[in-house]
Amino acid sequence: MLKLNFWTAFARSRKTRARESAFSCPAMRLDARILGPAVLTGAGLLSAVLPLAAPASDLMVDESRITAQNRDGADWLSYGRGYTEQRFSPLNRINAGNVSKLGLTAFVDFDEGRGLEATPLVADGTLFVSLSWSKVIAADAVTGKILWKYDPQVFKGKAIDTCCDAINRGVALWKGKVFVGTLDGRLVALDAKTGKLLWEVQTTDTTKAYTITGAPRVVKGRVIIGNGGADFGTRGYFSAYDADSGKMLWRFYVVPGDPSKPYESPELAEAAKTWSGNVYWKYGGGGNPWDGMAYDPDLDLLYVGTGNGGPWNREIRSPGGGDNLFLSSIVAVKPETGELVWHYQETPGDSWDFTSTQQITLATLPINGKERQVILHAPKNGFFYVLDRKTGELLSAEKFGKVTWADRIDMKTGRPVENPAARYVDKPVTQWPSGFGAHNWHPMSYSPITNLVYIPYQEVPGVLRNQKDEFVYRPHRFNTGNGFSDARSFPSDVVSGALVAWDPVAQKARWRVPYKYYYNGGTLSTAGNLVFQGTADGRMMAYSADKGQALWAFPAQTGVVAGPITYSVNGEQYMAVMAGWGGAAATVGGDASLAPGVRNVSRLLIFKLGGTAQLPALQPLARVDSLPASAMDIKARDDAESIKQGAVIFANNCMACHGVGAVSGGLTPDLRKSASQTFDGYSTIVLGGALEPLGMPKFGAYLSEDDVEKIKSYVVSRRRADLGPKTTQSTLLTK
C-alpha cells in the first residue's frame, strides 16, 4: 500500500505565473527562430511544434495491439479499452462468485482540490493517467508507486473559459509516447518511459475560450483531438496530428464559419444552408467535439460526437430556424483525410445543450434476424440510438429515461417529434432532461455476454426561457440565452440517478438500480458477470451484470465520477479507478448533487482479491464563522432591481463554478456561506485575481465594481431565502 502527495514540488513563483498569464503555450514563449517546424492551421494560426528529445521508450502500443485487446484482457490501452469503446474486459478471475473478497491493495492521494474524471491506461504493468489541470503521471500498476510525473503548467486563470471544472479525462498511448490535451488547448507528447516532453503543439486560438478536457485517440499514427468552448463563443472542430512530429494533418470544422470567406469543405457550404441570420459565425456557433470518439478498423471510419449550439437558444443563434448542421450529431470521417462519409443529427436545431459528445460504442447485434455492425449511443437528449455504422442508417431509437422535450423519434425521417412547448419561444418551460443530460460524459459499458449496455442515468429537470430580447453576447462568458439566470436548485425528490441495464435490441431496460443522487460514475463490465460503478455518495459498487444484484461495496470517502478499469499483471487481476468529486454537478449543480459527507478527496484506488489496505480516516470538516446576515444586508444593496441584475451577472460569470443560485455542489465554496473576510474582499478576489493561483479567475476585464455589488446583493438574497437571516455559522468542505 502506498500513499503519496507530490504536487507541492510543482508550486510556481508569482513571477512564473505572471509570465504564463501572457503566454498560454510554453512553446510560444521561446524565440520563434528556435521553434522548429510549424503548422499553419485551418484557423490561420501558427501552431508551433516544439521537438525536445527522441522517444526512448520501447512501450509499443499500435493498432494491432489495441485491436487484439478483444481477446487479451491484460492491458487497457485506449480510453474505452479498445477502438470499439465497449469498456468490457474478458477477464474473469474477479467474478460474481468471489467479488465480495475484493479489497483495496494500494492507493495514491493527490493534492489536487479538483475533480478526477480520467480513465487510466495500463500497458506492460505501468499505469498512465491524467489529473486536474492536465497533469500526467505514470505509476506501477500493482503498487501505485509513482514512476514519473508531468505538469504542463496550465495558467490557472484559464478556468475563466472552463465550463465544468479544470478536469481531464485521460491520455492516449502510441509507440512509446503518451499524449494528453491540456486545458489551454495544447496537444502534448511525452516519452512513456520517462515523462519527458517530446513535442507540443497549440491546437486552438488562444485569444478565444477554447479548452481541452477530453482524451485523445490515436488512429493510424494520427492523434485525434477535439475541444470544448461552445458555451463561451467558439467554433468547434477536431484535428489530426502526426504522432511522430506533431504536424497537423487535417482539421474538420463542425459548423460553418463566416460566409464571406471560403468554406473549408463542400459539406460546410451545404451545412450553411441549415443556418439563418447574420450573426451565428460571430457567436462561434458551437458544436465542439469534447469527448466521444470510436474507430472501426474494418470500415476504416472514425466516429466523432459533436456538441451543442452556441449560444444554446436557437432563437438567438439562428433566428430563422434550421437544423444547424453539424450540431449534436455523430459524424463519420476517413481518419487519413478527415473527409466526411456520413452524418446523423440526433437533435436538429439544438436549443437545450443536448450534446452528442457522449460515448460512442461499436457492437455487432442481431437486428431483425440479421447481424448488423452498429453504433450504440445514449446522448444527453434521453433517446438511445442504434445506427448502422457503415451508412449511418437509423435502426431504432427509444427513450431510456424521462423525456418530455420530444415524444418519439420518427423512424421514416430519423427526426424527433418535438413537444412544441420545448422550444420555449413564447413562455418558459420545465422539461426533462436538462442540459445535464439523461446521460452525460460518464462512460457507459457494453457486455457482449449479456448484450446489455450499462448506462449512468440521471434525471434532472431544466427550466428554460427565451432571452432573445435581452441577450447580449459576451466573449469568454457563458452565452446561453435561455434563462440560465433563472436556475434554482430543485428539490431532491425530483432529482435522482440510476444504473440502467439497457437492452439495445429490444430497446428497453432489463434492470435498474436507483440512486438518490445524480452524477454517478462511469461503468465497467467484465466476463466475470460484473458491472462496476462509483457513486455520487462516495461508494465503489459491483453488481451482477445479468440481474443487477449488489455484490460488493467499498467506501471511497469521496464522490466517484470517473470510469473504472480492470487489467492483469503476472496473472493477478486488478480493478482501478480515479476517485474524486468534481465536474459539472460539483460546480454548476448545486446542493441537489451533494450527498452528506461527500467531498473531494483526489486519489487513485487499486483493488485485488484479498487486498487489505486501509484508507486513512477523513479529517473533520472545517467550521468557519460566516458573516452575520444583518451585516451582509448593510454592506450589500438590497433593492429588487439590484438583486435581479445580480442574478443575471452571477449566472453569466459565477454559476459555472459556484453553482445554481450560489449553492455549490461541494467542490467550490458555497457563496451563501462566505466568511466575513471573503465577503469583504469580493472586489480584490473577483476583479483583482487575488485567488487566481488557486483557480479563481480574474474578472477585471469583464466586470465592474458596480457588477460586484450587484452580485453581493444577489448572494445575500439567496442566503436569506435558503439559509435564513439568523445563520451565523456554516460548514465548508475543505481538504
Catalytically active residues are 353
Closest CA to 55 of 175, 179, 188: 175
Neighbours of 127 (CB within 10 A): 26
Question: Could you say which DSSP state residue 228 is in?
Answer: B
Neighbours of 465 (CB within 10 A): 17
Which amino acid belongs to residue 595?
A: A
Query: What does the alpha-carbon distance between residue 559 and residue 345 come to, in Å, rounded to a whole number?
Result: 33
Sheet holding 360-367, edge to edge: 360-367, 370-377, 383-388, 394-399
Q: What is the DSSP pairing of strand 523-526 with strand 88-89?
A: parallel
Closest CA to 117 of 456, 499, 597: 456
Per DSSP, the three-state class of 719 is: helix
CB 189 within 8 A of CB 198: yes
CA angle 577, 290, 651 (to 5 degrees): 95
540 CB-near residues (< 8 Å, 6+ apart): 532, 533, 534, 553, 554, 556, 560, 564, 577, 579, 605, 607
Distance from the first to the final alpha carbon of the chain: 22
Query: What does the alpha-carbon distance between residue 120 and residue 273 come to, in Å, rounded to a whole number?
Result: 42
Query: What does the alpha-carbon distance between residue 200 and residue 203 come to, in Å, rounded to a whole number?
Result: 9
Query: What does the alpha-carbon distance between residue 105 and residue 340 come to, in Å, rounded to a whole number?
Result: 47
CB 385 within 8 A of CB 379: yes
The distance of Cα 101 from the centroid of its chain, to the nearest Å, equals 33
385 CB-near residues (< 8 Å, 6+ apart): 344, 346, 375, 376, 377, 378, 379, 394, 396, 397, 409
Residues linked to residue 531 through DSSP beta bridges, in sequence order: 525, 543
Q: Residues in the chain, how many?
A: 735
CA angle 48, 43, 154 (to 5 degrees): 50
Query: What does the alpha-carbon distance between residue 333 and residue 355 come to, in Å, rounded to a whole number?
Result: 19
| DSSP output for 329-388 | EEEEE-TTT--EEEEEESSTT--S-----SPEEEEEEEETTEEEEEEEE--TTSEEEEEE
For 700, the grid coordinates are: 477585471
| DSSP output for 128-145 | EEE-GGG-EEEEETTT--
